[in-house]
Structure 1
């Protein structure tokens, strides 16, 4: 059986997955835990990894059964046919979200004097030296062009 991608109403992914499971349809809605902040508190909440998408596994002949669930809009199509996701890809998503192979990632900002290679934008393939690091921007010196570049954070 193939895995298909079902497009749902916005914010209905978990509800649709629950309804499909109750109907006996194999489905998968990958969830991640994120910290959300309101004006009075912070809270960890589970949100879908892919907005408005739920994966379903069923025979091609039973594809219309998903439309019995409220919140299902349509199937996702690729090149005029329903998009098919391979079992290996679903397993990779599950393994990635499993958390047993966790690793710690640290992002270190550029320091003054660092030599960096620009890989995108109009100055791609140029090297620059970091002259200033601010809360809102970097100042880079492009020696080969003889100019100073101010880049804002996004």
Structure 2
């Protein structure tokens, strides 16, 4: 048994994984918890580490499951291959990804990090640049801006802040 790479349709990694597992295939989809802003509320959701890809464990001999249904599985685009040979992935890489995923399982990638430059989008200070300090509950953040040549810490709505590149 070896690991191979499946290319999925856009944003259908989880759908492809579920459908392949229903057919008896062993799959692995590495994900990371990420904070997202949805309707003014911060939520944490799992996002694929490699968008549009998942790993599948398959055998090559006659006693193993046929590979034919993989291509027609809902959510799957194709099995990644080099020429006519499917792309084999080293088991060590899969083990390493699984270890790393277990380490960061409960640590969400935050929308903003301390000291990051931001810009206020609306309100009385719209257009001003500032520095993100920290979250203040689910819907507000603390921002450091310069006002009248002095640093001022203000709480603002999370939706009123955007990252500066």
> What is the CA RMSD across the aligned residues, in angstroms?
2.9
1:37 aligned residue: 37
> C-alpha distance in 1, partners of 2:81/2:72?
19
Is 1:92–2:96 an aligned residue pair?
yes
> C-alpha distance in 2, partners of 1:135/1:67?
50
> C-alpha distance in 1, partners of 2:114/2:72?
49
Residues 2-13 of structure 1 correspond to what in structure 2 (within 5 A)? 2-13=2-13
Secondary structure of the equivalent of 1:60?
coil
> C-alpha distance in 2, partners of 1:38/1:15?
22
Listed as ranges, the gaps of 5+ residues in structure 2 are 108-112, 116-128, 132-163
1:65 aligned residue: 69
Query: Quick check: 2:71–2:79 contact (8 Å CA) kept in 1?
Result: no
- The Cα of 1:80 is off from its aligned counterpart by 5.2
Query: Quick check: 2:71–2:77 contact (8 Å CA) kept in 1?
Result: yes
Task: State the TM-score, normalized to the length of structure 1.
Answer: 0.61
- The Cα of 1:79 is off from its aligned counterpart by 5.6
Query: Quick check: 2:34–2:47 contact (8 Å CA) kept in 1?
Result: yes
- The Cα of 1:75 is off from its aligned counterpart by 1.4
Listed as ranges, the gaps of 5+ residues in structure 1 are 110-133, 137-152
1:26 aligned residue: 26
